[in-house]
Amino acid sequence: MYKIRIKDLNLAQIEDSGQCFRFIKNERPRLNPAEYADSTWQVIAFEKYLEISQIDKEEFILSCSQEEFETIWKSYFDLDTDYSVFKAGIDTKDVFLTNAVEYGWGIRILRQDLWEMLVSFIISQRKNIPAIRACLESLCQAYGQPIKVGEDIVYAFPSAERLYTLSLEELKTHSLGYRDKYISRLAKDVVEGNINLVELSQLKPEDATKALLNIYGIGIKVANCVSLFALHHIDAFPIDVWIQRIIDEEYEGHFDTSRYAGFAGVIQQYMFYYRRSY
């Protein structure tokens, strides 16, 4: 157990911000004390399992050791970044955005695994978030490495090597729909070296976007999601149906992201989370 104070972090908001799909409140028996039941989230990432309880606005208890926190989760939650700087950069005359930031004050851009984000956001297209979660969970339970959690077992995200071994027919049994061929091709390209994830993670933002757009099944929206949520290119501004709705309803069809150059993706997350609340 490790206790720490963290600013600008709200776990409920992160869960519903649409950037992560294996970050869920109280889904299984807890490691953390029962007294935190109403405030405990369970996270599976990087083949690790974490429970994190928000016991106050800025006070958190994590199920990991301090060492694991420092080596994995501190980065995962992007805790070296001061989000108050982004908030201070908001146009105060922009009522929608001001309300959005006030509503989603505890959102951070998680630094998630590139392979997992590629698969997750390819699957995300034309699915709602509960359906994405169910689909990914099905893949994890079938093909992920087991992780022992007390008496319980959870499953890591399946590797490219594991998915590579599957036939299209096997993939089809997990509600991938027409995306099965995208995932199949992606696993093949990664395992055979046609797509190098290490190199991809080292590219400049604009080059990474180009490389992502060359991947079968990835268009501009998914490329921006992967850039933002895995590569931490926080200028990336994914436009999905919700963001487009905001742009049409609140900004007369045009939102100038250059106003927020360098952190437009953070702004996008506040907008997305707020718009989905009503």
Cα–Cα distances (Å) from 2 to 7, 29, 61, 63, in that order, read 16, 19, 6, 6
Cα–Cα distances (Å) from 208 to 115, 232, 260, in that order, read 14, 11, 20
241 forms part of the interface with DNA (CB under 7 A): yes
18 forms part of the interface with DNA (CB under 7 A): yes
Residue 141 parent element (H or E): helix 129-143
Sign of CA dihedral 190, 194, 199, 227: negative
Segment lying near DNA (by CB under 7 A), choices 4-12, 29-37, 39-47, 123-131: 123-131
By the 10 Å C-beta count (0-12 exposed, 13-18 middle, 19+ buried), 231 is classed as: buried
Q: Are 186 and 119 in contact (CB under 8 A)?
A: yes
Position among 92, 128, 167, 258 found at the interface with DNA (CB under 7 A): 128
158 forms part of the interface with DNA (CB under 7 A): no
Q: In the bound complex, what is the minimum distance in angstroms from residue 97's beta carbon to DNA? A: 14
172 forms part of the interface with DNA (CB under 7 A): yes
CA dist 224 and 176 (Å) reads 21
Position among 2, 96, 103, 242 found at the interface with DNA (CB under 7 A): 242
Segment lying near DNA (by CB under 7 A), choices 22-30, 53-61, 122-130, 194-202: 122-130
Axis-axis angle for helices 205-213, 220-229 (nearest 10)? 130
Position among 3, 5, 57, 126 found at the interface with DNA (CB under 7 A): 126
Position among 163, 238, 255, 270 found at the interface with DNA (CB under 7 A): 238
- Taking CB under 7 A as the criterion, which residues in 40-79 touch DNA? none
Q: In the bound complex, what is the minimum distance in angstroms from residue 175's beta carbon to DNA? A: 4
Residue 128 or 167 having the CB closest to DNA: 128
Q: In the bound complex, what is the minimum distance in angstroms from residue 68's beta carbon to DNA? A: 26
Segment lying near DNA (by CB under 7 A), choices 45-53, 69-77, 157-165, 241-249: 241-249
Residue 16 or 51 having the CB closest to DNA: 16
216 forms part of the interface with DNA (CB under 7 A): yes
Position among 15, 170, 240, 250 found at the interface with DNA (CB under 7 A): 240
Reduced 3-state DSSP string for 70-96: HHHHHHHCCCCCCHHHHHHCCCCCCHH
SS3 36: helix
Instruction: Please count the residues of this chain forming the interface with DNA, following the rule CB under 7 A.
Output: 39
